[in-house]
Structure 1
Amino acid sequence: MHTQTDVVARLCGVVKRYGHLTALDGVDLVLQRGELLAVLGPNGAGKSTSISLLLGLIRPDGGQAELFGMDPQQIDARRRIGVMLQSAVLPPTLHVGELLRLVASYYPHPRPLKESTGLAGIDDLLNRPYGRLSGGQQRRVQFALALCGRPELVFLDEPTVGMDIDARRKLWSAMRNLVAEGCSVVLTTHYLEEAEALAQRVVVMAKGRVLSEGSVDALRAQVPLARIRCATDLDVEAVSAWPLVNAAQREGGRLLILTSEPENVLRRLLDADASLSALEVQRAGLAEAFTELTREEDEQQEAA
């Protein structure tokens, strides 16, 4: 049971329609203080609509959206958040330092400039015009802008798109630092390994509804798949056709098999190839759980 002071954002039975299209169909969503929540789903799932409601950019047709117990459009609520959307249009001729000072001036207790640039890893970009930065550099600047007001809640929509591996890992570290400070983070991402590495709780959406929510381990436990990896010359298409094999493919020179019956498949593998080597068996990750959950939803929709 969450107390009112624990909850920083909430959707209660929210419905949102665009003409004949129902973008959200009775969605309930709760974000707690100091929590990193990953919202996952295919395109059209309702992720962006949910975020827009919590930001006060649109109104629900039914149900209620709350931000710090207030209407999301109230200025007192908005001053307590930071936002990094998928796309942003910023003055290209302003230097990065000028942008940060400008945005920080809108908040009552902003972070010191050095702190914001350090978290985002942009100390070396302060004197450069924003319009002359690479796409990945611009994303890091946008992240700094999202946190420069010392927000209690940050919305990050696909924050690491366009970043190289090193920049992505630095941003992951910064997100963990924000949560350690007690800041809440809502993360939408198509990089499922990102959600698996960072999220304390995951919400999976599809077609305007919440399919599942819980910890990464809880979601993985809902889908009893195992991942078998090995070095073998067995034909991939032949293995794919075996009973109890959900999928098989070549990955990095190894055969990768997904199955809900790993013991039986392992026996058949060893019978089929006595020289099989480099055998690994792991529980399926969040990516497989996500794929299975959304596949089951599609099958149920088709059968209805």
Structure 2
Amino acid sequence: MKQLAIQLENVTKVYKGKKAVDDLSLSIERGTVLALLGPNGAGKTTTISMILGLQQPTSGKIKLLGGNPRDSEVRNRIGAMLQDVSIIDNLKVSETINLFRNYYTNPLSLAELLRISGLENEKNKMAASLSGGQQRRLGFALAAAGDPEIIFLDEPTVGMDISSRQLFWDTIRAMAGKGRTVVLTTHYLEEADNLADRIVVINNGKLIADGTPSEIKAGTTGRVISFTAGVSVKSEMLLAIPGVVDVEWSGRRVKLHSNDTDTLIRVLIEKRIEMHDIEIQSGGLEDAFQTLVDNTNVLKGVV
């Protein structure tokens, strides 16, 4: 059985009478790449701040690597890249990274940190002179400086160019391959879909979805079977098939929406429906995310 990296038990955070995080319980196993998603103001940043010990919950319990997030022994084993990267004046990139390396017991080498952040060519530049995207990469190097068992990344690739984002993705996959736990928030849902093996969605401070990217997509948007239909195929016969939720036509190309495409494709074959060029697809994570958020807003009376 895998050990838990992070545990939240009935965690609530109240600001000025309003719940920013509302009775949130969550257990994250070590070695997980988890994407924490939600609209602006959903409680993501507050949740991460509490896990890091930067804020205290109003009620509930939080454990990080089995201990108190504020313990120095725990802090020595984690890294964090928050939205605002503070740059120290009058230090070069290499000097800034080395300063942070000295805070940890077993830091990664300067050469490795420059490599994974893509800052090898900028190592002798003044840190304050870096572009916005380069400063994000420096923030990642600082978060990884202690070779952390858990690394928190809050909107890590904002401002990065395509090649920098690709290097970041490759580095995260490599870290996960070594058993590191990664928790990231991002508005780039493609990033979450490609990187995360688990997605947690919160809205209005509450957990509204938790699963693999495929589970999140299939559970909200369903799946689609598309094919080119023969002239004998009509909407009425397709809608009469159990499991078909909706039918869309584009010329002779038809899309069947269903929550169980495995069963549906078998039924279509058994009924000898005239079809070719068959494709089975999940809905996108962006559609799933928007559906989840919209549904919970309606229930809360926000819209």
Fold agreement, TM-score > 0.5 = yes
User: 1:226 & 1:35 partners in 2: Cα distance?
Assistant: 26
* Residues 1:133 and 2:130 are matched in the alignment: yes
User: 2:157 & 2:302 partners in 1: Cα distance?
Assistant: 37
Alignment of 1:141-156 (within 5 A): 141-156=138-153
Provide the secondary structure at the position in 2 that maps to 1:265. Answer: strand
Q: What amino acid does structure 2 have at the position aligned with 1:18?
A: Y
User: 1:91 & 1:303 partners in 2: Cα distance?
Assistant: 42
The one of 56, 62, 65 equivalent to 2:62 is: 65
- Structure-2 change in CA distance of 1:271 and 1:120 (3 Å): closer
User: 2:181 & 2:223 partners in 1: Cα distance?
Assistant: 32
* Residues 1:191 and 2:198 are matched in the alignment: no
* Contact 2:64-2:74 within 8 A present in 1 as well: yes
* Contact 2:221-2:287 within 8 A present in 1 as well: no
| 2:294 aligned residue | 295
Give identity over the alignment, percent: 40
The one of 232, 248, 254 equivalent to 1:265 is: 248
Provide the secondary structure at the position in 1 that maps to 2:12. Answer: strand
The normalised TM-score by structure 2 is 0.82
User: 2:280 & 2:67 partners in 1: Cα distance?
Assistant: 49
| 1:124 aligned residue | 121
User: 1:271 & 1:67 partners in 2: Cα distance?
Assistant: 55
* Contact 1:96-1:125 within 8 A present in 2 as well: yes
Alignment of 1:151-300 (within 5 A): 151-225=148-222, 261=245, 264-266=247-249, 269-270=250-251, 282-300=281-299
User: 1:226 & 1:11 partners in 2: Cα distance?
Assistant: 32
Provide the secondary structure at the position in 1 that maps to 2:202. Answer: strand
The normalised TM-score by structure 1 is 0.82
* Residues 1:25 and 2:8 are matched in the alignment: no
User: 1:122 & 1:113 partners in 2: Cα distance?
Assistant: 11
* Residues 1:53 and 2:50 are matched in the alignment: yes
> Deviations along 1:235-269, whole A, 9 cap, x unmatched?
xxxxxxxxx9xxxxxxxxxxxxxxx845x212xx3
The one of 10, 14, 18 equivalent to 1:13 is: 10
Per-residue deviation at 1:182?
1.2
- Structure-2 change in CA distance of 1:99 and 1:220 (3 Å): same
Provide the secondary structure at the position in 1 that maps to 2:7. Answer: strand
* Residues 1:95 and 2:92 are matched in the alignment: yes
Provide the secondary structure at the position in 2 that maps to 1:186. Answer: strand
Moved over 4 A (4+): 225-229, 278-281
> Deviations along 1:84-124, whole A, 9 cap, x unmatched?
00112121321000001110001011111111111111111
Structure 1: 5+ residue runs without aligned partners? Answer: 230-243, 245-259, 273-277
Matched pairs, number: 266
**Root mean square deviation, CA, Å:** 2.5
